[in-house]
Amino acid sequence: MDAYVALEGGHVVEARGRAPGTANGELVFTTAYTGYEESLTDPSYEEQILTFAYPLIGNYGVRSERFESDRVHPRAAVTREMTDDVAEWLAEEDVPAVDHIDTRDLVTDIREEGAMACGIAVGDDVTPEDALAELEDCVPMSDHTDIGAQVSVAEPVVHNAESDGSTVALVDCGAKRSIVDSLVERGATVHVLPYDATADDVAEIDPELLFISNGPGDPENFDAAVDLVDTYVGEVPIAGICLGQQIVARALGGTTEKMDFGHRGVNQPVRDYDTGKVVMTTQNHGYTVADAPEALEVSQVNVNDGTPEGLDSEDLDIITRQYHPEANPGPHDSLSFFDDVLGLTGSKRTIVAD
């Protein structure tokens, strides 16, 4: 199959087609050399085109038990070399895919220019103009104002209902499956709520912990989750991961901003101020907290660029992390996060919505 990748600015790269179709989105990359199944099913990649920096994708097959959701989320995949297993999987998912591209050069371009608009066309009779037409239709990430609806559950779902452990209300802004698994493994009953859940929805659960998940896009487009945090801050312990940290920060008066190329990969170094230790983390985000609210202490920072990686408040019982502590497929340096947040639930509090 023919394939063309049109980059912001109009440059078109010829490739080999592996799964047919057309797509557009924000072109980003991950440096992970394992975990391609987890990355391709991560809801945080919604409306993006994912480039893999590692040259061979698919060298240990495709197994559904590794998936982080029930479908592939990137609009397309770009690799140096892709195995038939992955190509067939993406074709079944109607996700265009290409290889035989110098992804080292492409990653360098993104590192220099930042995440960019991209259009892809794959098929037996596609032309460069088809890819350019897709590029022309590409919408900036911040303009996807209801992206939460594309990745969230439509109705509440309960996991581990028979447990007598902590009750968690998890607001699904695009949650990875392994976040739910990490809480359930520690005995929690997890009520997964839609991204636009109301204060009354949370009050019906009467949780011991309000948890705001990861997810795609601009935190400014998740007003309902911001309102939930604002309603229950100080009334119930609150935790957040990735987008969840940004939402919590905004609810308490902080600001967020778009990064040039984001943090994506499994080797992001994070320093903890209290211990002085540096841990390696998995990350996938294009926005960050620009100014942390006064109510929250910046407890951890990214070693490379100093951006906030952890926000805490003992007085308000809040713990958030910008990275992914569940970290499938690894590293597992920060799994203790889930023990810490469930440790906030020692005394159950009854909450009543206004």
Parse the chain into domains and list their residue ranges.
2-139, 148-345
Q: Is 263 a catalytic residue?
A: no
Q: Do domains 2-139 and 148-345 have the same CATH topology?
A: no
pLDDT of 265 reads 86
pLDDT of 328 reads 75
pLDDT of 351 reads 42
- Tell me which of 118, 138, 173, 242 is the catalytic residue: 242
pLDDT of 353 reads 44
Binding-site residues for L-glutamine sit at: 44, 215, 217, 243, 246, 284, 286-287
Q: Is 326 a catalytic residue?
A: yes
DSSP 327: -
Q: Which CATH number describes the domain made up of 2-139? A: 3.50.30.20
CB–CB of 175/43 below 8 Å?
yes
CATH of 148-345, one of 3.40.50.261, 3.40.50.880, 3.40.605.10, 3.40.1370.10: 3.40.50.880
**Calpha distance 64→328 (Å, rounded):** 14
pLDDT tens digits, the chain, 354 residues: what are they? 999 999 999 999 999 999 999 999 999 999 888 999 999 999 999 999 999 999 999 999 999 999 999 999 999 999 999 999 999 999 999 999 999 999 999 999 888 888 899 999 999 999 999 999 999 999 999 999 999 999 999 999 999 999 999 999 999 999 999 999 999 999 999 999 999 999 999 999 999 999 999 999 999 999 999 999 999 999 999 999 999 999 999 999 999 999 988 998 888 999 999 999 999 999 999 999 999 999 999 999 999 999 999 999 999 999 999 999 987 776 777 788 999 999 999 744 444 444
Binding-site residues sit at: 44, 215, 217, 243, 246, 284, 286-287
**Calpha distance 257→141 (Å, rounded):** 12
Extended strands (E) in 254-353: 255-272, 278-291, 297-302, 308-313, 318-321
pTM: 0.94
Of 340, 30, 289, nearest to 182 by C-alpha is 340
Q: How many C-beta atoms lie closer than 10 Å to residue 66's C-beta?
A: 18
pLDDT of 346 reads 73
Phi, psi angles (nearest 5°) of residue 138: -65, 135
Give bridge partners of residue 28 from the DSSP assignment: 50
pLDDT of 1 reads 92
